[in-house]
């Protein structure tokens, strides 16, 4: 009886405060944000009116929002595919027994430790000054002008920077998955005459399905929520050709002072990410079980 009372007391002392804090900083703002989606609040005034589902209806009739949504899907596709491919390639390279593995892992992972805002400004300088000087010296037409000033190359620049930052992080997860593969299995396959590609295709790839699931989920969520790099690298330009959905929400709420509509756009983004992530994880788990 005394032990039970002690457990209850410890639960109240350690768990309840954490739950309360979590509720105050997550649950309360979540429901308050949902409430604001049904208002016309501009983010400044002390009064506002209830408008029902008008904000949601305006979203799906807003051409700018739909264009930004389509652009975001394209951006997410390339970021997820490229960052995972590069992450796997780096992990394979660093688990083949090359020298200074720890050094290279640290170098590749370091990009993920740089804040998105700072990284955006660094790459802004690279694209706007460093690469253009290389183009001026070599005469390469592709580098004569900044990629950030052309609607045809600005999105490619944004994708490159995001992939560069994310690949090192995913590499660490893939390295962990590859190092957990039993050496006996790989040695047996090698003795049977399996080539390196066959080892990867038929043994390593199936054995790291859980890592692929995790990395794909991380890449999807990070790509959809990309804001800081979008802000500091291109600020949605030129001519809004790189305005992703997270940045569009920011513009709606804080530049256009349509806070209620901005909240509604954020809810739509949350639902999209949740549904896609749920589908992706469910399908990946089914493949893991069948394998």
Contact 263, 39 (CB under 8 A): no
> Tell me, what's the pLDDT at 194?
78
Q: Which of the residues in the chain have pLDDT under 50?
A: none
> Tell me, what's the pLDDT at 2?
64
> Tell me, what's the pLDDT at 195?
81
- Classify residue 87 by its DSSP letter: H
> Tell me, what's the pLDDT at 287?
64
- pTM of the complete model: 0.88
Q: Report the distance separating Cα 197 and Cα 154, nearest Å.
A: 36
Q: What is the CATH number of domain 62-290?
A: 1.10.3720.10
Q: Report the distance separating Cα 285 and Cα 280, nearest Å.
A: 9
Contact 80, 220 (CB under 8 A): yes
| Pick from 113, 128, 121: nearest CA to 235 | 121
Contact 215, 84 (CB under 8 A): yes
> Tell me, what's the pLDDT at 223?
94
- Classify residue 37 by its DSSP letter: T
> Tell me, what's the pLDDT at 188?
84
The residues spanned by each domain of the chain are 62-290
Which tokens belong to 112?
């993920």
- Give me the chain's average pLDDT, please: 87
Contact 127, 148 (CB under 8 A): yes
Which tokens belong to 70?
């389509």
| Cβ count within 10 A of residue 40 | 16
User: Distances in Å between the alpha carbon of 80 and those of 70, 110, 112, 281?
Assistant: 15, 19, 15, 14
Q: Is the peptide bond before 238 cis (omega within 30 degrees of 0)?
A: yes
């Amino acid at each position: 009886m005394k032990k039970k009372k002690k457990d209850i007391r410890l639960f109240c002392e350690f768990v309840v405060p954490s739950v309360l804090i979590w509720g105050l900083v997550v649950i309360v703002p979540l429901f308050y944000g949902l409430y604001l989606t049904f208002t016309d609040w501009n983010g400044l005034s002390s009064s506002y009116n209830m408008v029902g589902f008008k904000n949601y209806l305006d979203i799906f009739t807003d051409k700018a929002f739909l264009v930004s949504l389509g652009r975001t899907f394209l951006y997410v596709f390339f970021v997820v595919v490229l960052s995972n491919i590069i992450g796997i390639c780096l992990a394979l390279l660093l688990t083949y027994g090359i020298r200074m593995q720890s050094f290279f892992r640290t170098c590749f992972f370091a990009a993920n430790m740089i804040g998105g805002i700072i990284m955006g400004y660094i790459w802004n300088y690279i694209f706007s000054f460093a690469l253009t000087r290389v183009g001026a010296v070599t005469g390469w037409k592709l580098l004569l002008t900044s990629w950030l000033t052309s609607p045809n190359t600005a999105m490619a620049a944004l994708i490159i920077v995001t992939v560069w930052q994310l690949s090192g992080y995913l590499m660490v997860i893939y390295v962990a998955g590859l190092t957990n593969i039993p050496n006996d299995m790989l040695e047996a396959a090698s003795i049977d005459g399996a080539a390196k590609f066959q080892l990867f295709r038929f043994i390593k790839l199936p054995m790291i399905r859980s890592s692929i699931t995790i990395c794909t989920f991380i890449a999807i969520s990070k790509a959809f929520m990309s804001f800081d790099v979008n802000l500091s690298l291109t600020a949605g330009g030129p001519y809004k050709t790189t305005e992703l959905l997270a940045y569009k929400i920011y513009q709606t709420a804080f530049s256009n002072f349509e806070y209620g509509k901005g909240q509604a756009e954020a809810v739509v983004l949350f639902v999209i990410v949740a549904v896609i992530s749920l589908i992706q994880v469910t399908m990946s788990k089914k493949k893991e079980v069948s394998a």
